[in-house]
Structure 1
Amino acid sequence: MIDYSVLPMFLAACFILVVSPGPDLLLIGSYSSKQGVKSGAAITLGIFVAGILQTLFVAFGLAKLLTIIPMLSVALKLMGTLYFLWLGLKLIQQWYAHGVASAAPVQSVNKSGAQLFLIGMLNNLLNPKALLFFALFLPQFTHNGADIFLQILTLGFILIFVALLINLALSVVFSIAGKKLANKFKIGRYVDGILGLLFITLAGRLAFSSEQGA
Structure 2
Amino acid sequence: MNEAHILLTLAAVHFVALMSPGPDFALVVQNAARFGRQTGFYIALGLSLSILLHAVLSITGVSYLIQQHPLIFMLLQTAGGTYLLYLGVGALRATCLNWQQSATPLTAGVLLTNKRQAFTKGFLTNLLNPKALVFFASLMSSLIPISMSWSGKGVALMVIWSLSLFWFASLAWLLTRPNLQRKMLNAGRYIDLLCGVFFSLLGGFILWQVLAG
TM-score, normalised relative to structure 1:
0.78
- Whole-angstrom distance in 1 between the partners of 2:171 and 2:189: 23
Query: Which sits farther off after the overlay, 173-182 or 63-72?
Result: 173-182
- Whole-angstrom distance in 2 between the partners of 1:72 and 1:63: 11
* Cα-to-partner distance string for 1:77-129 (whole Å, 9 max, x where unaligned): 111111222232233334433445xxx65758777221121111111111122
Q: 1:153 to 1:208 in 2, by over 3 A?
A: farther
* 2:157 paired residue number: 156
Aligned residue type for 1:39: T
The answer to whether the 8 Å contact 1:81/1:207 transfers is yes
Aligned residue type for 1:77: Q
Q: 1:198 to 1:113 in 2, by over 3 A?
A: farther
Aligned residue type for 1:42: Y
- Whole-angstrom distance in 1 between the partners of 2:63 and 2:51: 13
1:40 CA displacement: 1.9
Aligned residue type for 1:20: S
Q: Does 1:169 align with 2:170?
A: yes
Q: Which runs of 5+ in 1 are unaligned?
A: none
- Whole-angstrom distance in 1 between the partners of 2:161 and 2:209: 24
* 1:123 paired residue number: 125
1:76 CA displacement: 1.0
Q: 1:129 to 1:107 in 2, by over 3 A?
A: same
1:58 CA displacement: 2.0
The answer to whether the 8 Å contact 1:39/1:116 transfers is yes
1:37 CA displacement: 2.3
Q: Counterpart of 1:12 in 2: which secondary structure?
A: helix
Determine which of 136, 139, 144 is the counterpart of 1:137: 139
Q: Does 1:51 align with 2:51?
A: yes
Please tell me the root mean square deviation across aligned C-alpha atoms, in Å. 2.9
Q: Percent of aligned positions with the same letter in both sequences?
A: 24
* Cα-to-partner distance string for 1:137-168 (whole Å, 9 max, x where unaligned): 12333345544x55443312211211111221
* 1:83 paired residue number: 83
- Whole-angstrom distance in 1 between the partners of 2:45 and 2:71: 30
1:44 CA displacement: 0.8
Q: 1:206 to 1:151 in 2, by over 3 A?
A: farther
TM-score, normalised relative to structure 2:
0.78
Q: 1:59 to 1:167 in 2, by over 3 A?
A: same
* 2:68 paired residue number: 68
The answer to whether the 8 Å contact 1:98/1:108 transfers is no
* 1:31 paired residue number: 31
Q: Counterpart of 1:21 in 2: which secondary structure?
A: coil
Q: Which runs of 5+ in 2 are unaligned?
A: none
Query: Which sits farther off after the overlay, 121-130 or 4-13?
Result: 4-13
